[in-house]
Amino acid sequence: MGEVTIIDVSPRDGLQIEPELVSTEQKLKLINMLADAGIHKVEVTSFVHPLKVPQMADASDVLQAIADRKGLETTALIPNLKGYERAKDHSLSEVNWVSAATETFNAKNIGMSIEDNMSQFLIVLDEAKRDGIKTCFSVAVSFGCPYEGDVDEEKVLQIVRRVKEAGVDRIGIADTIGIATPDHVERLMKRVLDIAGDTPVAIHLHDTRGLGLANAYMAYRAGVRIFETSASGIGGCPFAPGAAGNLATEDLVYLFERMNIPTGVDFRKLLGAADYAASLSTKNPLGRIRHVEKQREKGKTV
């Protein structure tokens, strides 16, 4: 394992907005390629209602097929109690619960108020502890909301305090619309880490405005050691207008490895997985380094 942990979310966050259905077999191939590259934790699917996100309708099939993969921790996003009831019947390492830091985004994304969302999560947390399943609580739009604009840091920190006190296993802070700046990331993440204490904290960055890597570096300087990224940078949120793809896994791994910060990832194999992820997307993937590497292999760049 490396000094930093990379969680790849491309099979879920990367594919969820695709208008054309990606087959279960293609999703499994991507997951296995990521695992072969040394990505030991992958967000493989989500248990949302199939009518809302048709791309994730095969959640059960994906988890059943990947259950015997050794050395791979699987996590699945769940939006509500019903989602957990579906997810817990499968062999998975963790469920990822999402609440927004703003009421408007929460209403549009999940259909609940922040308080109602928290009440359901506390029920799920108790059940998950009994079922032996770890929980992550992710705070969406922590740096800015497409509907309410700037987000008061105290709103984010209040949620972090509550889930920390409740005993969550991991906390995620998400820049859902890719609006964060490095100074904002460093300031907020230091405060989050101070509250979280020994509870692991991850940051989930989108690269909408091209600041994903700079933000990741500042998160690292602040003390973050878990990063959620997407192979080739595919993806985006269907409930966040204008949000582009995620920070590309291979771009972040390249940055860390050049800085002699171990990731435990085989970069060459990761590039293959990124190429495959890009082939599954109808969007313009945001990842940069794989294009540079292709040119370098052709002898056109150093």
Identify the DSSP state of 91.
-
- Homologous superfamily of the 5-297 domain (CATH): Aldolase class I (3.20.20.70)
Per DSSP, the three-state class of 136 is: strand
Task: Report pLDDT digits (tens) over 150-164.
Answer: 999 999 999 999 999
Q: Give percent of the chain above pLDDT 70.
A: 96
What is the DSSP track for 172-209? EEEETTS---HHHHHHHHHHHHHHHTTS-EEEEEB-TT
Which of the following is catalytic: 110, 237, 248, 270? 237
pLDDT score recorded for residue 279: 95
Q: Which phi and psi angles does 88 have, rounded to 5°?
A: -65, -15
pLDDT score recorded for residue 236: 72
The whole-number average pLDDT for the span 205-214 is: 94
Element (H, E) at 33: helix 24-36
Does the pLDDT at position 123 exceed 80? yes
Rounded to whole angstroms, how far apart are CA atoms 9 and 210? 19
What pLDDT band is residue 301 in, cutting at 50, 70 and 90?
A: low
Rounded to whole angstroms, how far apart are CA atoms 159 and 101? 8
Task: Establish whether 237 is a catalytic residue.
Answer: yes
pLDDT score recorded for residue 54: 94
Task: Report pLDDT digits (tens) over 14-54.
Answer: 999 899 999 999 999 999 999 999 999 999 999 999 988 99
Indicate the length of the chain as a whole number: 302
Does the pLDDT at position 239 exceed 70? no
- Count CA atoms within 13 Å of residue 64 on its CB side: 7
Rounded to whole angstroms, how far apart are CA atoms 302 and 291? 13
Q: Which phi and psi angles does 259 have, rounded to 5°?
A: -90, 10
- Count CA atoms within 13 Å of residue 54 on its CB side: 7
Task: Report pLDDT digits (tens) over 241-275.
Answer: 555 689 999 999 999 999 999 999 999 999 999 99
Task: Report pLDDT digits (tens) over 165-209.
Answer: 999 999 999 999 999 999 999 999 999 999 999 999 999 999 999
